[in-house]
Amino acid sequence: MYKSLFALLTITTFLSCTNAPQKLPIYGNKEIRTQVIDGKEVIDTIFQTIPPFSFIDQDSNIITNETFKDKIFIADFVFLSCGSICPKMNVQMKRLYDKYASNPNIVFLTHTIDPERDTLARIKKFMKAHGAETNKWHFVRGPQEEILKIANKGYFSIAYKDSVDVKPGAEYQHEGWFVLVDKKQRIRSMKDGTDQFEVDKLSKDIELLLLEKE
């Protein structure tokens, strides 16, 4: 189910230099801009970033891009009635959260794609059961159309409501990506959040990103 990602992404890969740590790629579209400054031609590469958003988290805080200013964050999309991949994703996200809970540079962002049933009260209960601190792990809800749009277009994580009658807990089709976003809100890594081995690789990517110089 993850093959669709590679049809959507343009990946810019940075090669490591001798004795220098390898840098993670930057995912998404890019734009080359040329301008003249003091008589000299300057070429800049502008990379795709997470689109503007405004959602509400488990403690009724308004969460926007500004919430993650100068932070690295890991994002995913789930719903609490999910009977397929979400429970596995939740276990792996909690494992990552526990590892980085004391790191002030790392924050977590989970979106529900089923805001009708995932009320703030239900989300808050879920987060309390996971021992999550509000300022470290935000579980947000918002208008479903906006959540699905940012999943598909902002994070390259396909999510949609199934158009046919399905069993409870399978009303939505979605991918299980954990998306690593840097301090400039650019996507730097995507790993299968249902697979412990893949999440371990994401943890290594986090460590690489923490070493990057601005």
Q: Does residue 43 fall inside a structural domain?
A: no
Q: Does residue 82 fall inside a structural domain?
A: yes
Q: Does residue 32 fall inside a structural domain?
A: no
**CATH of residue 134:** 3.40.30.10
Range of the domain at 59: 50-211
Q: Does residue 11 fall inside a structural domain?
A: no
Q: Does residue 182 fall inside a structural domain?
A: yes
Q: Does residue 129 fall inside a structural domain?
A: yes
Written as tens digits, the pLDDT of the chain (214 aa) is 444 444 444 444 333 344 455 899 999 988 887 777 777 877 778 899 999 999 999 999 999 999 999 999 999 999 999 888 999 999 999 999 999 999 999 999 999 999 999 999 999 999 999 999 889 999 999 999 999 999 999 999 988 777 665 565 567 778 899 999 999 999 999 999 999 999 999 999 999 999 998 6
- Residue 41, helix vs strand vs coil: strand
**How far apart, in whole angstroms, are the C-alpha atoms of residue 191 and residue 178?**
5
* HEC letters along 173-195: EECCEEEEECCCCCEEEEEECCC
Q: Tell me how many domains the chain contains.
A: 1
Distances (CA, A) of 46 to 8, 43, 49, 177: 18, 10, 9, 24
